[in-house]
Amino acid sequence: MRPRLSLLAALGILAIGAGCTTDGSRQNSQLRVRTDFPGGSAQVEQLSEESKTIQLTPTLHPGRGWDAWWYFKLEGVKPGETITLDVGKGIWATPDQAMFSYDNVTWQHTSPGKRQKDRIVYQHTVEKTPVWFAWGPPFVLSDAERLIDNICARSPYATRFVLAKSKDGHTIPALKLYDPSVPASEKLGIWVEARQHAWESGSSWVGKGFIEWVISDDPQAKALRQMADIYFVPIMDVDNVQRGAGGKNATPHDQNRDWSDSPHYPEVAAAQEHIRELNRIGRFDLFVDLHNPAPNDKRPFYFVTVAEYLSAQGAKNLKDFFLCSKEAINGPLPLLDKARESGPEYDKAWDKISKNWVTKHTAGHVVAITLETSWNTPQSTQEGYQTVGRQLGEAIAKYFTEPRR
Ligand SMILES: [Zn+2]
């Protein structure tokens, strides 16, 4: 049986139980964890048909970053049955509440799990099938494609472009919003990107909320569109997102420690090239990198660059941008009162973090910042994340359109 199980595991399908044969008539009644789809991740340690308990960890992807992300479809379960998910691999892989979905589109939180050392046990009574479970609301390449198609269909000013071809050969989709009624020479430039860390799926949902607000009828959004060209990348590390890997601290190094003169990741090199060119022609003003923070960071916050990197104007602009953000990102996930600095004390490769590179390589007035949106709270849902994204849009509009304080 061993080679057969290994083959099934390799295919991302693992079933253990009475029906683990070619007997098709019994297949529907056996619990089966499937991960054979983009972003799928679950390594089953044990599975009990009797108690409907599944012990699992994220799928291990050596060299592809932290084992923090899991996402699977559960087959062989009937409505009314209570499933017990016992998830291991420590605090980063075990949110207080897991997520479930009956259509792989809309995701809801389970009840809070019970922690046992580095594991957590969630229980969920399945109301209907099929059912999926995940660490957080998934957002994979097809979601990015769909979002960009949707924005392009709804906004006459939106254009899709290919940021880069990834190491694995994926095309990385991106979006430019450009209103031709305003002379190009008067335009500001804004770059917003998400998901340099693949497991931080919430950051793509923040990005979705942001870009959908930008094309909305809100007068502030309209004003922003008229004054700025806006570039948006919903997923930077497409390779690890599609693989179902964590990405954070991948080898040879973390994607957000790749912002050097010789980047390893094609998507980072391409982003740098765009930003350099916008800066060269005097049309670059704001860079926002979207992330999810540590499990105990229960409120969103900004990481900012070190004071030595900032000109007097840059420091003033950063302060203004922070004040606008404090007003706009006001709940249900309100921004923390204090930003954190990602300098040498934060990480030895601090100067290769995106916003630090951007600050160093662009004009003194540019604001470059990382928004960390909490993932381990009851509000860390598709809706909650998108609200933060909309509020980020409002903050950006305030910063550029309202008189400076
Ligand atoms: Zn991150």
SS3 of residue 145 by DSSP: helix
- Give the Å distance between the CA of 253 and the centre of ligand 1: 13
- Give the Å distance between the CA of 196 and the centre of ligand 1: 6
- Give the Å distance between the CA of 289 and the centre of ligand 1: 9
Tell me the HSE value of 285 on the side-chain side, using a 13 A CA sphere.
17
Q: What is the CATH number of domain 2-134?
A: 2.60.40.3120
pLDDT tens for 162-209 read 999 999 999 999 999 999 888 888 899 999 999 999 999 999 999 999
- Give the Å distance between the CA of 210 and the centre of ligand 1: 18
For residues 311-337, b (16+ Cβ closer than 10 Å) or e, as one string?
eeebeebbebbbebbeebbeeebebbe
Task: Report H helices in 102-235.
Answer: 141-154, 201-214, 219-227
- Give the Å distance between the CA of 203 and the centre of ligand 1: 9
Determine the Cα–Cα distance for residues 55 and 173; give it in Å rounded to an integer: 36
pLDDT at 148: 98
- Give the Å distance between the CA of 217 and the centre of ligand 1: 31
pLDDT tens for 14-55 read 554 433 333 333 445 799 999 999 999 999 999 999 999 999
- Give the Å distance between the CA of 18 and the centre of ligand 1: 42
Fold of 141-401: Aminopeptidase (3.40.630)
- Give the Å distance between the CA of 291 and the centre of ligand 1: 4
- Give the Å distance between the CA of 352 and the centre of ligand 1: 14
Residues of the chain with CATH 3.40.630.10: 141-401
Question: What mean pLDDT, rounded, does the chain reach?
Answer: 93
Q: State yes or no: pLDDT of 11 exceeds 70.
A: no
Mean per-residue pLDDT, 66-91: 97
pLDDT at 355: 98
Q: State yes or no: pLDDT of 302 exceeds 70.
A: yes
- Give the Å distance between the CA of 20 and the centre of ligand 1: 40
Mean per-residue pLDDT, 289-298: 98
- Give the Å distance between the CA of 3 and the centre of ligand 1: 38
pLDDT at 16: 46
- Give the Å distance between the CA of 136 and the centre of ligand 1: 15
- Give the Å distance between the CA of 405 and the centre of ligand 1: 31
- Give the Å distance between the CA of 280 and the centre of ligand 1: 28
289 token code pair: 């990198």
Residues of the chain with CATH 2.60.40.3120: 2-134
pLDDT confidence bin for 6, thresholds 50/70/90 = very low
pLDDT confidence bin for 104, thresholds 50/70/90 = very high
Mean per-residue pLDDT, 298-316: 97
> Are residues 32 and 60 in contact, defined by beta-carbon separation less than 8 angstroms?
no
pLDDT at 28: 55
Determine the Cα–Cα distance for residues 83 and 77; give it in Å rounded to an integer: 8
- Give the Å distance between the CA of 293 and the centre of ligand 1: 6
